[in-house]
Amino acid sequence: MIRLSCEDVRREISNYLDNDIAPARKKLIEKHLEQCQNCAVLLDSMHNMVVLIADERRFELPEGFGNRLRDKLEKEFTAFQEKRRSE
Amino acid sequence: MQPHILSERELIAEILAGNPERYYELIAPLERRIYFTAFEILRVEADAEDVAQEAILKAFRSLASFKGEARFSTWLFSITINEARMRLRKRREVSLDSPAEDGSGSDEDYTPITLADWRELPLDTVLNKEMAAHLEQATASLPLSYREVLVLRDIDGISTAEAATALGISEGNVKVRLLRARLMLRDYFVSHCLLPKSAPAGRGRR
């Protein structure tokens, strides 16, 4: 049976995390992960990193963003309606 | 009766047929992600706001030319990325002294620091203010081309294919850049934010 090196696993670890990998390849990676603490830690911490960076609480819009956007859009909408009427 | 929920295409047709205020429905779920896409590229709040709002306005103005081949969100993300790149270029023209932004990232294989040196990023790591600030620094440390992919895939949550369309690169390229971005992010985060605070190794301690 083919054995993967740590380097092989590292190259595909991100695809593995996204479950974007052929089933046979996935099995080989899992086999490696069972026996390699370093790669297992790499996978876990990358997973945690991805969870943290996507945490909604990080994303606050600047104060007043919505109001300022609405002001601009309203002008845009008026221009749009005027253009429609003149056509 | 349940109100009929309009599909994206129907909503766009409604807007173009003379109900522009329905554009809000189209952009509401995307506003924050559009802003943060711009922010991850520009790293300056005021610039990110300008660019995000300009992208939203531009998309409205050219809504009639939206062909519906991609999803509206993908189209809007790609407009945002283009606007943000333009703003970066302008910024560089204005201040020639500022360090050049690394636009490409390296094509060399990225080798993370020796695995034995790693501490695990603990599973129970919680997001607090300090952690959020560290994450900011960590993402800011990435080359632009990696940041773009990271924000689209891991923050905006769009697919590999959509990210490839938005950035005008191949899916393979998206995957390679995402791998490096995630590895580098983890490297930076662990070495700058976790290791300095970690207790010294147990040797010699009683």
Q: What is the pLDDT of residues B173-193, one digit of tens each?
A: 999 999 999 999 988 877 776
Asked whether the beta carbons of residue A69 and residue B21 sit closer than 8 angstroms, the reply is no
ipTM summary value: 0.88
Its pTM stands at 0.80
Residues of A with CB under 8 A from a CB of B: 6, 10-11, 13-15, 17-18, 20, 38-39, 41-42, 44-46, 48-50, 52-55, 57-59, 61-62, 65-66, 68-69, 72-73, 76-77, 80-81, 84
Asked whether the beta carbons of residue A48 and residue B135 sit closer than 8 angstroms, the reply is no
Contacts for A56-62: CB closer than 8 Å, 24+ residues apart? A57/B127, A57/B132, A58/B127, A58/B132, A58/B135, A59/B32, A59/B33, A59/B35, A59/B36, A59/B155, A61/B31, A61/B32, A61/B35, A62/B35, A62/B45, A62/B49
Contact B151, B36 (CB under 8 A): yes
From CA B182, how far away is CA A39, in angstroms rounded? 14
- All residues of chain B having their beta carbon less than 8 Å from the beta carbon of residue A66 are 31
Q: What is the pLDDT of residues B127-155, one digit of tens each?
A: 677 778 888 888 888 999 999 999 999 98
